[in-house]
Amino acid sequence: MRKNVVFYVTRQYMKQNKGRTFVTFIGIVFMVILMTGVFIGKDTGIGYLEEIASLKDGKWHVSIYGVTEEMCGEVQSLPYVRETARSKGYGATEFEQSANDERPYLNVKAYEPACFDWMNIHLTEGRLPENEQEIVISRSAIDDGAKIQTGDWIDARFFQRSITGINAEAGGTIFPFFGIELEYGETKAVPESFPYYGENESFRENVEYTGKTGRYQVVGIIEAPSYEDSGAAGYTAVTGLGDDGLQITASSDNSGTKDTCNLTMLLDLEVLPLDYAMELRNIAYGCEMDFNDYVLAFSANASESTLNMVIRYMTVVFVVLIMGASVLLIYNVFNISFQERSRYLGMLCSVGATGRQKRSSIYYESFCLLIFALPTGILGGMGIIRLAMLVFRPLLGMMVGIQEVDRLSPVSVRISWENIAAVILVSVLTVLISAWLPARKIGKIGPIECIRGNVEKKSRQYAMRPSVIRRFGAEGMLAGNMLTRQKRRPRSVAVSAAVFMIILIVTVYGTRTVHEIIDVKIDRASLDIRSEDYDYLLGSCGYSAEYDALKEEILNDPGVEKVSEWGEGMFTGQVPASVYGREYWEAVREIFSLYYHRDVSEEEVRQEDMQYKQVVNILAVPDECLRKIGERAGADVGRLMDTEHPAALVVKEGVISTDTYRISETEPEHYRIFRIENMSDLGPGDEIPLELYDPDQEKNVNMPVEVAGNISEELLSDYVTFGNDNQYVWLLVNADVSRKIARIAGGREGTAGLSPMLFIKQNEEPTDLIGRLEKLNDREDSYFAFARPGYQKDLIGSLAEIADILLGCFVVLTSVICLLNLFNSIRGWRDESRQDIEVLYSVGMTKEQMNRLLLYECLGIFLRAVLLAGVCAGFLYLMIQAGVKTIFGNLRIPFPAAGAALSAALAGVVLVLITILVHRKISF
């Protein structure tokens, strides 16, 4: 005898309906695969990305420079600090074997053993140092011709470098890349990356011996570490760090303090608290600190909290969407088979089965499928993760700008019991939710209703609708009646189609949201001039005589087809606060309120900020281009191009946020971004009292500019785009006006104020111009930068691409669930319509009429699905937008109308195709 007849009957039912059971099983398997992808795939992917990212700067997580013993102890005792290793910078020493006059030193560091691994020290020959008397030297020294090899000895006498201004007439010397301004007679310490200038007229290099000496045997040659600057005066050399090294008290590390060392650590990312960066900063107060964001970003622990938020946000969105799609799939299957199921359960009920037993039948079926789907899905998911990682391996390296992925060990799926448990738990929960509603429904109906199959019958009247018949014929009447009088069957199909649409719409919206978050939260170039038509870009510090000479040379070169000269003047001008408009100041007031954690009044803002002059940026636009832009903006082009009386086109929009408008020594309540529609309230004809700082006269010079018009960023976007940190008013001026500005603000040397950018387009003529410009760019003292224009991949670009790929994979896999769902629903619908079809054929319906009927039915279902999807997607859109706004500030993410239309069209086509396919299968 069977122990449980309800379960036996359920099993028999499942066997009888093999097709539907199989499709449901596949759906659950896909759900488990997706869950595995989210939980295990995320860990595997992130782990692998960490490994890839570690190729760039090493696998260390945080480095603190100049920490004391006490600080070290405190940091090491933190529960989330997994491992630490110390290092010291001994300073520079003469490198007699150097063959490069510009690199006469060795910059020597001492590492504890773990640091060699964490800092990506790769041997090219020999071995790593095992004690404090052994040393490895950077390959770059050998490549430059240094006469040294393994086995040689180096005698070191360490010193710190500094420079002293010696030319009273030349005035101060600026080293912009090192943030050093050196006045005559002043002495300043320089970092190890500082170049060697030798004898020169402006300054003198000093060395101060630290008292540490050493004799080291070269035991290996290493690849130049990522932190070695090819322009630095010294090559990198690393020795072992032992107790002796740690006991020295010389001021030899980066912080310049005594009795300190550098502490590098690996963190336990599993237990890392959100505020760990703050805690480390508090412990090592005053110490310089580096976070390896490349590595940390992928485990959602980067010091920049937004990256963490993006990754966590995406994880939650993925899980919720997968659960939603799966719940609907499983629920739909049970709902479709409701009538058939109610018959056999009714029979059981008539012989004494209780409501609980009936419910248990549904749960039994769903968990029968789940028990097999779980291992299948988890194993399948792992296989897919492994496959995907192998396929993506080179791509992932490219994304983070690292090509050396070959160095990494093969991809291994990172399995943890916690993640497996999470997959099982979420899958069980999903199935439980899906089965609960139909189980509850079926548990309530009585045996007679079940057997007669008229559970939902109501004794209402249905009048004939002659108008429908007149307009759409018999097919229209039949379709209308089938959709309105037999709601359950087509409703399942409509719900499935709607879910398909919702998933697509929400994913499109999610993709845009993630992009927007990444876009607004991470600093990008403030200004991007569209340069697709040009091959190279020559940038200069200012409109100097050298620049003019170089420009002339370029213009006359036969290999140059055309050039376009722009000029960028960040912070070049100053204006009264009144030039900035009401909208801007209101946003500033709100930012003040966020920083001061109270409602700040306009008066307070006025007192604190509005009394000061405000910055304006200048953009010098080529005349031909400016004329077109002016026409596009409807500005007074004549005034704009006037060479006598300066006029400017004012860019309307701007963006300020709690990140870009910072108030020191306080933290805002939360991040918020304000998109200003009108940065200035000034209009055509108004005058901007522009002031320019004349460095020669050391005072501001007035240069009033008339507003020739205002232009939106959208109208400008064909020529120039502004970054999301564009918090100042931009003035677009013609070439003559820009020269005038440059003459005042650029000083005698012409090296300040405006920075010209010369875009160069080559022709077919052979020329050595590019080679010469490249050499100029390589010169240490060059004021010019020469490169190919265009987008450079950065961490953010990588993140955006990774997000795209993940969302793409998610869409594909979730679409499979949705398609299975849709297929299942349509099959159920058509299966139940089989008898109707036979009746219709028997009373003389032709195949064309049948096809038309199907199309009408599909159209009705589609319209219903669109309505449902519109309501649900709209609701989800509002929910997501509200959530995103709360977390990330007032991001502007419009509803993806085009994506929604495309999703609807796709769902409609899929609906019709599957219906025709299933109908043909049933009919023939």
**Which parts of this chain interact with another protein (CB under 8 A)?**
454, 457, 459, 461-464, 469-470, 473-474, 477-478, 481-482, 485-486, 835-836, 838-849
Least CB distance to another protein at residue 841 (A): 7
Residue 381 corresponds to which tokens in the numbers above? Answer: 């998911």
Q: Please, what's the largest Cα pairwise distance for the chain?
A: 111
403 versus 851: smaller Cβ distance to another protein: 851
Least CB distance to another protein at residue 513 (A): 43
Least CB distance to another protein at residue 443 (A): 23
The packing angle between helices 18-36 and 417-444, to 10°, is: 140
490 versus 896: smaller Cβ distance to another protein: 490
Least CB distance to another protein at residue 19 (A): 23
Residues 6+ apart with CB under 8 A from 740: 646, 703
Q: Where is 165: in which H helix or E strand?
A: strand 153-165
77 versus 461: smaller Cβ distance to another protein: 461
How far apart (Å, rounded) are the C-alpha atoms in residues 302 and 311? 11
How far apart (Å, rounded) are the C-alpha atoms in residues 552 and 548? 6
230 versus 484: smaller Cβ distance to another protein: 484
653 versus 831: smaller Cβ distance to another protein: 831
Residue type, 575: V
116 versus 338: smaller Cβ distance to another protein: 338
The per-residue b/e assignment along 420-436, b for 16 or more CB within 10 angstroms, e otherwise, is eebbbebbeebbbebbb
Least CB distance to another protein at residue 462 (A): 5
Alpha helix stretches (DSSP H) within 674-734 = 713-716
509 burial type by CB count under 10 A (0-12 exposed, 13-18 middle, 19+ buried): buried
Q: Where is 283: in which H helix or E strand?
A: helix 276-283
Residue with tokens 């191009």: 641
How far apart (Å, rounded) are the C-alpha atoms in residues 852 and 836? 15
490 versus 581: smaller Cβ distance to another protein: 490
Please state whether 352 falls in left (phi above 0), alpha (psi between -120 and 50) or beta.
left
Coil vs helix vs strand at 186 = coil
End-to-end CA distance of the chain: 41
456 versus 804: smaller Cβ distance to another protein: 456
465 versus 740: smaller Cβ distance to another protein: 465
Are 915 and 923 spatial neighbours (Cβ–Cβ below 8 Å)? no
Least CB distance to another protein at residue 861 (A): 14
Least CB distance to another protein at residue 485 (A): 4
**Rg of the chain over CA atoms, in angstroms?**
36
Please list the residues that pair with 184 across neighbouring strands: 165
453 versus 689: smaller Cβ distance to another protein: 453
Alpha helix stretches (DSSP H) within 337-458 = 338-350, 355-399, 417-444, 447-452
398 versus 469: smaller Cβ distance to another protein: 469
Residue with tokens 């299975």: 820
247 versus 842: smaller Cβ distance to another protein: 842
**Phi/psi at 131 (nearest 5 deg)?**
-155, -175
How far apart (Å, rounded) are the C-alpha atoms in residues 54 and 48? 10
How far apart (Å, rounded) are the C-alpha atoms in residues 563 and 570? 22
463 versus 897: smaller Cβ distance to another protein: 463
Least CB distance to another protein at residue 458 (A): 9
Least CB distance to another protein at residue 420 (A): 48
556 versus 835: smaller Cβ distance to another protein: 835
DSSP 405: G
132 versus 836: smaller Cβ distance to another protein: 836
Least CB distance to another protein at residue 856 (A): 13
32 versus 494: smaller Cβ distance to another protein: 494
Least CB distance to another protein at residue 500 (A): 26
Are 229 and 104 spatial neighbours (Cβ–Cβ below 8 Å)? no
Least CB distance to another protein at residue 855 (A): 16
How far apart (Å, rounded) are the C-alpha atoms in residues 94 and 28? 69
| C-alpha dist (Å) from residue 64 to 86, 253, 295 | 10, 11, 16
Tell me which residue of 448, 733, 332 sits closest to 567, measured CA to CA.
733
Least CB distance to another protein at residue 438 (A): 22
Residue with tokens 């939260």: 521
Are 893 and 881 spatial neighbours (Cβ–Cβ below 8 Å)? yes
156 versus 482: smaller Cβ distance to another protein: 482
Least CB distance to another protein at residue 307 (A): 56
Least CB distance to another protein at residue 809 (A): 42
Residue 884 corresponds to which tokens in the numbers above? Answer: 């995103």
Least CB distance to another protein at residue 26 (A): 31
603 burial type by CB count under 10 A (0-12 exposed, 13-18 middle, 19+ buried): exposed
Residue type, 492: S
The per-residue b/e assignment along 134-158, b for 16 or more CB within 10 angstroms, e otherwise, is bbbbbbbbbebebebeeeeebebeb
DSSP 185: T
Q: Are strands 105-111 and 81-94 parallel, antiparallel or unpaired?
A: antiparallel
2 versus 485: smaller Cβ distance to another protein: 485
Least CB distance to another protein at residue 343 (A): 15
Q: Are strands 614-620 and 729-733 parallel, antiparallel or unpaired?
A: parallel
| One-character DSSP codes across 771-792 | HHHHHHHH-TT-SEEEE--S--
Least CB distance to another protein at residue 910 (A): 25
DSSP 610: I
How far apart (Å, rounded) are the C-alpha atoms in residues 100 and 86? 31
